[in-house]
Structure 1
């Protein structure tokens, strides 16, 4: 086995799918009986949907999406509104930045889609299989796996291990990697229920209300399952409260208060407790083991960034591991996973904590609360700085509506012509390394050089390559290097760059 993936949530299944897509022999295991059953982690940014498109699951994910989203901070569904984040008539239009749409599917829809596709591509995924222990050496990882139904323990040998086993997983602790951060923020009761709330929620959109009610603090959200909704209510162990203080009848009363339907008769589907927290692992890798998703960071759900980050973690480690396993890159490329993903994860956790304070915990406002980063800038304008790019400076952020094309930033979306058809530059990436240029003199450089024309006249400017330069783009759509003009020996230049960024 080349890669063992422990965990089958959004991060683990993404890593499994994208490894299998590149022909890597991958085994995924999870101690749970099946994929997620609760409608959480709703929403996929266009950046995430670009990856879903590459994985061949864009349509399947969108089949579980419900229109747009309405986000407010309010007393209740019909009560006072304290802040409108996305209005009823509001729309996120990022078509200037990406050809991919917003997705509004929840985790219980997306995970089975990823699982089916991963298996279709040749991955093996076993549920009810628990990691008992693991060791690593210079050539691989040896893992002991417990088959829960039979009680049998088997051994698997893999070149690398991807830990996607969540914030309570064994792998991070087994590696001795510590965590830092604000820790536990609040404790919640999550009530999944069915009820007809027509007239109280936005039609054909996800309705998300952060609730600051005299009776409780919490949140309400609709799901992509007809009539199904979720209410979370904060409780306080420090005051002696526990989940046992929220039996079904009390939850029904809270639902009536939250929805402003005093005679509501909901069908309670599930009541569960969960903890909101903010943690960051000190390192995202150790030897041949890599942390993704909640194993690497735990972020408040305020902002919908956690699930998207997990998918992107999975994609990132997959293309880098595949390059090394295929002999296309040296092991030094893998160092870029921590160098690039950990700063981004910290920005996600900080922004989500900022949102938590603004939307649910205003009593915590103060100088120690980090400034939030605009979600569009965070999603499209955050830079990768590592040995896998040849950056010209150390800027971390840029306005994605005014892209520079500098190394480390996402290659901009520009509509070009290829073979007489109009395509987005974004759709040129994801299958290997691509050299973007308008000058055929760059052909024969050892990477794909698509023949392009630029009817809009935007490519040369947005990529910063003029009419004769070139931009070398990685399989994740990030610019690794660019030349603003034609060089004396284009092929030799590209080979030298690849040798550096791929640690050849």
Structure 2
């Protein structure tokens, strides 16, 4: 007999696990998240949040708090391939001021790093009722037709937890994937790095108001430099060969000298905060689901950090699983809805991994260039213009393209519902704030017929753009899922036999 029962057990409390726990708790689901680590990540990595990620954090009520973690980095973005901070520049990837196009999203991109974001998610998840426990390890996992039994070990001993579903968000070395019998494939390990976190005043060498990232091809080493939003805090990574060296071969004195070389500051005396070793890789799990067990974040895919999307994808995975599991657990949708998680998120993860690998070859390993390297992926198209394809979307056109330009949206099923400012209950708000449940968006009063499980808000269009951006004209309607993805649309007025395909989409 189990010692404890919960609706969902989340293994891992990083960006994916905490997001899943937060959004499940927000919808009234009983959730327990456990992590073998002592607490949230202390490392300034996974910096940057896309428009889409900030929209999800807006739903959680923490967008402003996350944005505050990037305070001071409002001046833009600098990404270069160079010999050193002041050395020869081989290629300028990005050098621009922040351009927040308010027509795309009500949220600007964030510049916070993981060590700031995770505590924000943790606090909010607990505030909403989620249990989050650290220093607790998963020992075994077994599932049957009715649920999953997990054995957990902590300093207080072992206990058994029975859950209806389990989310494996325990990272690329996590055990949930192995317990579920899911393999993975991909380019595998790409390179090994020593990460040097250090404090130093580099204001004379970098713009203090910009996020600065240099990929370094120096005669002394290959690596990368990134300035964090914490005052004086910076990170230098150095590629090394584990067959010849280990992190023990990088004592503080050597790390300090490498920092001086990278920053072109021969007299600099950096304060070395931490030296760690890590592996850069590219993997994709063969499946994202095995029965009642799901994978999210780095447990589902491992992507090089050269696309800046690993952490963003983790948060997106957690959110996507949460709303779908909540619908099923509350009896508002059938089990079939859960099949859409892998159908929609795995192709997206493949695009993320492929695009990031292409960036890795360009920025770190040009010797690997060749016809087998995937094409680069447009960042904005991927984050705001990706098309979901599953049984939870009714796609009627034959266009095979996985993305479209979000600056010129078509409003077709599968795509993210465009941001448009509308009048609702006497208040101007973004359409994105209307999608807390399945929502029918229309300007035609004839479509506003009360339907169980469906919200049909009364809106007006002061900017006269909604009909065009959603492709519904003055007579049609569009059905939007709780995640803001368009599920179905029509351009015509309803007839006596017209039906909204809500039951089919929810797999009831």
TM class by smaller structure: over 0.9
- Give the counterpart of 1:346 among 343, 346, 350: 350
CA distance in 2, matches of 1:501, 1:410: 16
Secondary structure of 2:236 counterpart = strand
- Give the counterpart of 1:234 among 230, 239, 242: 239
CA distance in 2, matches of 1:484, 1:96: 23
Cα pair 1:70 1:202 within 8 Å, conserved: no
- 1:6-405 correspondence runs (5 A): 6-65=11-70, 66-67=73-74, 68-87=76-95, 89-147=96-154, 149-150=155-156, 152-238=157-243, 240-394=244-398, 395=400, 396-405=402-411
CA distance in 2, matches of 1:50, 1:40: 21
* Deviation at residue 168 of structure 1 after TM alignment: 0.5
Gaps of 5+ in 1: none
- More divergent stretch after superposition (89-98 vs 255-264): 89-98
CA distance in 1, matches of 2:102, 2:348: 23
- Give the counterpart of 1:483 among 487, 490, 494: 490
- Give the counterpart of 2:446 among 441, 444, 447: 441
2:418 aligned partner? 412
* Deviation at residue 237 of structure 1 after TM alignment: 2.5
Q: Structure 1, residues 79-125: CA drift from partner, whole Å, max 9, x if none?
A: 111122221x4323232211111100000000000000000000000
CA distance in 2, matches of 1:445, 1:160: 30
CA distance in 2, matches of 1:391, 1:98: 24
Secondary structure of 2:54 counterpart = helix
Cα pair 1:5 1:161 within 8 Å, conserved: yes
Give structure 1 regions of 4+ aligned residues with deviation exceeding 3 angstroms.
Answer: none
Q: CA RMSD in A?
A: 1.1
Q: TM-score, with normalisation over the residues of structure 1?
A: 0.97
Gaps of 5+ in 2: 1-5
* Deviation at residue 196 of structure 1 after TM alignment: 0.7
CA distance in 1, matches of 2:348, 2:184: 16
Q: TM-score, with normalisation over the residues of structure 2?
A: 0.96
Secondary structure of 1:493 counterpart = coil
**How many residues are aligned here?**
496
Secondary structure of 2:339 counterpart = helix
CA distance in 1, matches of 2:367, 2:133: 45
CA distance in 1, matches of 2:213, 2:479: 41
Q: Structure 1, residues 174-207: CA drift from partner, whole Å, max 9, x if none?
A: 1111110000000000000111111111122221
* Deviation at residue 427 of structure 1 after TM alignment: 1.8
